[in-house]
Amino acid sequence: MTIKTLRAWEILDSRGRPTLAVEARLSDGTTATAQVPSGASTGKHEALELRDRDPARYAGRGVLRAVANVEGVLQAALSGCPAEDQATVDRRMIAVDGTPDKRNLGANAILGVSCAVARAAAMAQGVPLWKRLAGDREPRMPVPMVNIVSGGLHTLGGIEVQDFLVIPHGFDSLADSLEAVVRVHAFARRTIEKHGYALTGVADEGGWGPALDSNERALAILDEAIEASGCGGRMSIAIDVAASHFHRDGAYFLETEGRRLDAAGMTDLLESWCDRFPVISIEDALDEDDWAGWKQLTARLGARAQLIGDDLFTTNTVRLRRGIEEGAANAVLVKMNQIGTLTETFEVIDAARAAGWRAVVSARSGETEDSFLADLAVASGAGQIKIGSITRSERLAKYNRLLEVERGM
C-alpha cells in the first residue's frame, strides 16, 4: 500500500484553540485521520508548532499554513511512498522540512501526517493500532498518572506547581485502578470544600483548580483525600512542578508563598515533601536549562523518586542523551508533538529503556478527542501514561480507549 492523498483542516482543541486534523488515504482506499495536540507550558527546546500569526483570526493562532503544508509540500513528497514503512515516511518529512526543529513545515503538520499514516497502515492490515506500532517491542498496559489538583499555567492563577497527581498501585487492572482514582477525585473536592477553599472550576486537564494559599496545601489535600477514600497505601503522589515558568534570573519564585529559592532550596523543599507525603515521582523540578541544578537534584533524590524531565528533554534524543550521561533526571516524559514524528518519539522511548531509564507517555494540556496516545503508550511498553484528570472527554477518549484495549488484549 502506498500513500495516495493527504488532506488537512483546522479543528479546535480542548481550550478552543485551532489545531489540525489530517486524513491519509492509501492506494487501496483505506482512509484514516489523526488530530494534533498542543501544550501551554511548552518547553523552549520543543519542535516548532506552526501558527499563522494572522491577528485577524484566532488571535494569530490559526493553523492554515500548516494545513497548506500538509496538502502541498508533504503530499507531494509522500505520494507513492509505502505507508507501512513509517521510518521512511517520517525521515522523508524531516528531510523535506530541513530544519532541526521543523520550523519550515511545522511539527504540528508533520505529526498529523505521521499519525494519520500509521493509523491508515494499521487499518489496511486489519490489526489494532497498538499492535502495529509495537513492532518488536513488548506491549504493556500502562499505569496511569492521574491529575487531581492543578495549578500553574493550567489554571486562572494561584499556586505555582502545575500538577498534583495520583499513581495507583496494587490493582489487578486498569479498570480497577480507575475506579479507585475516581473515588480519590471525588474526595478531593470534598476535602477542598471542607477546608473552605474556593473551587474555581476545573483546570485545563480536567482536575480541580482551587485557589490555595500554598503549594504544600495541595499535597496535604491530596493526601487527606487518598486516606478518606480508603485508598491509603495503594495510591502514591506524583507532582509536575513545571518549574521553568516561574524561574527567572537563576531563581525560582513561589509567589503564592512569598518565597524565592535557588536550585538547592527547591531541592530541599521537594525532599521535605518526599519525607512527609507519599511523593514518588517529580517532573520538571527545576528549569529546562538548569543542568547543574538537575545533577544535584538527581544525586540527592534520584534513589527515592522518579525524576522526570519534560521541558528539560522535550522528547529529544540529543537532550535525553545528555541527561543520561550527566546524571540529570532518571526518567523522560514523552510527548509526540514536542518532537514531531512517531519514529523520533519511539527513538526516545527506546533510548530511555536502553539506559535503564523510565518513560512516561503524555498528553498535552490542549488535547483533542483522538485516542492515538493510548495505543502509543501500550505499544511502547513504557509502562506509564499521563493523560490529565478523569473528567473532560478529550482525556476520557484516551482512558476509554485503554479500557477497550484492556478488554481485548
Alpha carbon 198 to chain centroid, angstroms: 28
User: Of residues 362, 368, 371, 389, which one binds ligand PGA by CB under 6 A?
Assistant: 362
* 310 scored as a contact of Zn ion (CB under 5 A): yes
Phi and psi torsions of 18, nearest 5°: -65, 145
Cβ-based neighbours of 188, under 8 Å, separated by 6 or more:
148, 149, 208, 221, 222, 225
Secondary element (H or E) of residue 405: helix 393-408
Q: Which is nearer to ligand PGA, 42 or 316 (CB)?
A: 42
- The span of 7-15, 33-41, 191-199, 390-398 binding ligand PGA (CB under 6 A) equals 33-41
Closer residue to ligand PGA, CB minimum distance, 281 or 362: 362
Closer CB to ligand PGA, 90 or 310, in the complex: 310
Which of 160, 205, 216, 344 is an active site residue?
A: 205
Written as one letter, the residue type at 63 is: V
Q: Is 193 a catalytic residue?
A: no
- # binding residues, ligand PGA (CB under 6 A): 11
The residue range among 60-68, 247-255, 267-275, 360-368 that interacts with ligand PGA, by the rule CB under 6 A, is 360-368
Task: Tell whether residue 306 is a contact of ligand PGA (CB under 6 A).
Answer: no
Q: How far apart are CA 206 and CA 228, in angstroms?
A: 21
Among 140, 152, 181, 136, smallest CA distance to 41 is for 152
Site for ligand PGA in 148-187 (CB under 6 A): 162
Which of ligand PGA, Zn ion, none is residue 365 near (CB under 5 to 8 Å by kind)? Answer: ligand PGA
- Rounded Cα–Cα distance for residues 16 and 342 (Å): 25
| Nearest residue to 153 (alpha-carbon basis) of 309, 41, 45 | 41
Nearest residue (CB) to ligand PGA, 70 versus 243:
243
Tell me if 364 contacts ligand PGA by CB under 6 A. yes
Task: Please pick, from the candidates 40, 182, 251, 274, the single residue that binds ligand PGA as defined by CB under 6 A.
Answer: 40
Largest Cα–Cα separation, the chain: 62
Helices (H) and strands (E) in the chain, counts: 14, 14
Name which of 21 and 266 has its Cβ closer to Zn ion. 266
Per-residue contact string for residues 97-136; x = within reach of ligand PGA by CB under 6 A = ----------------------------------------
- Which single residue brings its beta carbon nearest to ligand PGA? 39
Is residue 288 within the footprint of Zn ion (CB under 5 A)? no
Single out the residue of 346, 356, 340 nearest to residue 380, CA to CA. Answer: 346
Is 205 in the active site?
yes
**What size, in residues, is the chain?**
409
Backbone φ and ψ for 61, nearest 5 degrees, come out as: -90, 5
Cβ atoms within 10 Å, residue 303: 8
Kindly report the number of other CB atoms within 10 A of residue 205's CB atom: 30
- C-alpha cell recorded at residue 161: 506547581
Give the range of 34-42, 223-231, 323-331, 344-352 binding ligand PGA by CB under 6 A: 34-42
Distances, alpha carbon 383 to alpha carbons 65, 144, 349, 377, in Å: 36, 9, 11, 7
**In the complex with ligand PGA, which residue's Cβ is closer, 102 or 245?**
245
Integer CA distances (angstroms), 123 to 88, 112, 116, 131, 137, in order: 19, 17, 11, 11, 20
Contacts to ligand PGA from residues 241-260, by CB under 6 A: 242
Would you give the binding string for ligand PGA spanning residues 41-60, x where CB under 6 A is met?
Answer: xx------------------
Catalytic residue among 4, 102, 295, 335: 335
Is residue 240 a contact residue for Zn ion (CB under 5 A)?
yes
Does the footprint of Zn ion cover residue 290 (CB under 5 A)?
A: no
Burial class (CB in 10 A: 0-12, 13-18, 19+), 265: middle
Q: 225 by DSSP, 3-state: which? A: helix
Run of H or E residues at 409: none
Nearer to ligand PGA, 23 or 204 (CB): 204
Pairing of strands 163-168, 143-150: antiparallel
- Given Zn ion, ligand PGA, none, residue 364, with its beta carbon under 5 to 8 Å by kind, binds ligand PGA
Q: Which stretch binds ligand PGA (CB under 6 A): 229-237, 294-302, 359-367, 396-404?
A: 359-367
CB of 264 to ligand PGA, least distance (A): 23
Q: Which residues sit at the interface with ligand PGA, rule CB under 6 A? A: 39-42, 162, 240, 242, 310, 362, 364-365
Give catalytic residues, as residue numbers: 205, 335
Q: Which residues sit at the interface with Zn ion, rule CB under 5 A? A: 240, 283, 310
